[in-house]
Chains A and B, each alone.
Chain A
Amino acid sequence: MLEIKNISCSIKDSDVEILNNLSLKINTGEVHVIMGPNGTGKSTLSKVIMGHYKYEVKSGDILLDGESIKDLEVDERARRGLFLCMQDPTVIEGVSNSEFLRTARGSITGEKVNLYTFIKDMENSMKDVGLDFNMLHRSLNMGFSGGEKKKNEILQMKFLKPKYIILDELDSGLDVDSLKLVCENINNYLIENKEASLLIITHYPRILEYLKPDFVHILKDGNIKKTGGMDLALEIEKNGYTNIDSMIGNDNDE
């Protein structure tokens, strides 16, 4: 279970508060969606959960399976099963995809990755997500298109086997066919890994055609204003975010 308890946070060394007393509970196996207009703190939330260096948690706590991870380093959070599929994955020149993946897997499992099984595994996984096998030996995300970067994130997810997956704007940069393919991969992952849960961050409900959510949350002004099901997402698609107060679903404002 991933539990966010009354989190307030701001940008480091500034008073600008982005998240304000936000709470969210994601049980094992659940799929949650956070939607909201630009600049409401959706991406910030994902980064704060991962422990990004730009943000400072002022109050509240983040719990993984009941244990606080708020003061843990980023790598320790990852080793406990957190995975953030980033909106704009970082390009790292000189570090090959293959070296990166094997080091990451080794760090998480604590065991050396066998080269032969790694190559066999990658041949299949890269075909699954629609990436050319040669990209394994290229510098990490370097010269990759926006779509290829996203596919590479999902490749990492498949290989590192996280329990808590956060998808930050997965659909940006992906064409319709690629989005469908990538979502198939995520769905298969969820079927194969019953323990895994998913937090999807998105502007558009389009991705929800492929990834069926259990809960839809609307984030505005740094807090969750509404929680509902798929019908809430569809209403957003129809009417936008302007009148969320009069929409269906449960009010979260206390």
Chain B
Amino acid sequence: MMSKIIYVLDNNESTEYKYNICEDTIIYHFSINSSSRVEVNLVEDNVSLYYYYNNINYDDNEFNIKINHLSNNSHSEVFNHGVNVKCNKLTYNVYGVVLKEFSKCRCMQDNQIINMDNGKSTILPILLIDNYDVDSNHSAYIGKFREEEIFYLMSRGISRSVANKILLNGFLINSDSLELDKINEFVLEIEKI
């Protein structure tokens, strides 16, 4: 079955998004230096949502996302990848909510923020699960690119700066199926980091 695919791009703006998901959906959310609020309701039984948030940050910003499971056997996976370029504050509040009356749900989140400088980054994973029959987990990483990865790339002749570029690209454009012409603005922004 094909999923519905949605592209969103924020550039220096603060926007609110609300979605009611009735069919399998993939949302690619690109954000340049923006504070956004996202609320997603999974309203049909058995639907799945994949949410990819890719963010380049320069000022103090906050990203709020809330996934409400309002149906049985619904499935959500949220991947938040941010690069905090300067010494500013970047905060992710990531909510996953499963109400008592809905079971067999899967509610997952994976959060990573790479600090390029000494920015103050915060990730708050908040899972509010009120039903026993739910599969749910979260992970969070804040820090630099792993020295081990840089070493591996450099050991094949790639310079440190190019290695960083490659890792940034891989981190912020992390799906093979992305249509790059739709996110040109974002791709150009990666070059500037």
Identify the A interface with B (CB < 8 A): 50, 52-53, 73-75, 77-79, 83-84, 86, 89-90, 92-95, 99-100, 103-105, 107-108, 137, 139, 156, 160
CB distance from A137 to the nearest CB of B (A): 7
* Stretch among B85-93, B123-131, B151-159 lining the A interface: B151-159
Cβ B156 vs Cβ A99 within 8 A:
no
Interface size on B, residues (CB 8 A): 23
Cβ A100 vs Cβ B160 within 8 A:
no
Cβ A107 vs Cβ B151 within 8 A:
no
B58 contacts partner chain A, Cβ-Cβ < 8 Å = no
Assuming the contacts A53-B147, A107-B157, A108-B157, asked whether A90 and B170 have C-beta atoms less than 8 A apart, the reply is no
Which of B149, B155, B162 is in CB contact (< 8 Å) with A50? B155
Assuming the contacts A79-B157, A107-B158, A108-B157, asked whether A74 and B151 have C-beta atoms less than 8 A apart, the reply is yes
| Distance in angstroms between the alpha carbons of A75 and B166 in the assembled complex | 15
Assuming the contacts A92-B149, A93-B174, A94-B174, asked whether A78 and B155 have C-beta atoms less than 8 A apart, the reply is yes
Which of B159, B160, B167 is in CB contact (< 8 Å) with A92? B167
Assuming the contacts A53-B147, A94-B174, asked whether A78 and B152 have C-beta atoms less than 8 A apart, the reply is no
Task: Kindly list 6 other residue pairs between chains A and B, CB separation below 8 angstroms, not including A86-B152, A90-B151, A103-B162.
Answer: A52-B151, A94-B169, A104-B157, A107-B156, A107-B162, A108-B156
Cβ B169 vs Cβ A104 within 8 A:
no
Cβ B166 vs Cβ A95 within 8 A:
yes
Q: How many A-B residue pairs have CB under 8 A?
A: 76
| Distance in angstroms between the alpha carbons of A92 and B170 in the assembled complex | 9
Cβ B159 vs Cβ A75 within 8 A:
yes
| Distance in angstroms between the alpha carbons of A212 and B19 in the assembled complex | 65
| Distance in angstroms between the alpha carbons of A92 and B166 in the assembled complex | 10
B148 contacts partner chain A, Cβ-Cβ < 8 Å = yes
B176 contacts partner chain A, Cβ-Cβ < 8 Å = yes
Neighbouring B residues of A74 by C-beta, 8 Å: 151, 154-155
Neighbouring B residues of A95 by C-beta, 8 Å: 153, 166-167, 169-170
| Distance in angstroms between the alpha carbons of A95 and B176 in the assembled complex | 10
Cβ B154 vs Cβ A75 within 8 A:
yes
Neighbouring B residues of A92 by C-beta, 8 Å: 149, 152-153, 167, 170
Cβ B156 vs Cβ A100 within 8 A:
yes
Neighbouring B residues of A53 by C-beta, 8 Å: 147, 151
CB distance from A115 to the nearest CB of B (A): 16
Cβ B171 vs Cβ A94 within 8 A:
yes
Neighbouring B residues of A93 by C-beta, 8 Å: 170, 174
Neighbouring B residues of A103 by C-beta, 8 Å: 158, 162, 166
Assuming the contacts A95-B167, A100-B166, A107-B162, asked whether A90 and B157 have C-beta atoms less than 8 A apart, the reply is no
Interchain Cβ contacts under 8 Å between A and B, 16 examples = A50-B155, A73-B160, A75-B154, A75-B159, A75-B163, A77-B155, A90-B152, A92-B167, A93-B170, A94-B169, A94-B173, A95-B153, A99-B166, A100-B153, A108-B156, A137-B176
CB distance from A45 to the nearest CB of B (A): 15
Neighbouring B residues of A100 by C-beta, 8 Å: 153, 156, 166
CB distance from B143 to the nearest CB of A (A): 15
Cβ B157 vs Cβ A160 within 8 A:
yes
| Distance in angstroms between the alpha carbons of A137 and B148 in the assembled complex | 22
Cβ B149 vs Cβ A90 within 8 A:
yes
Closest to A95 in B: B170
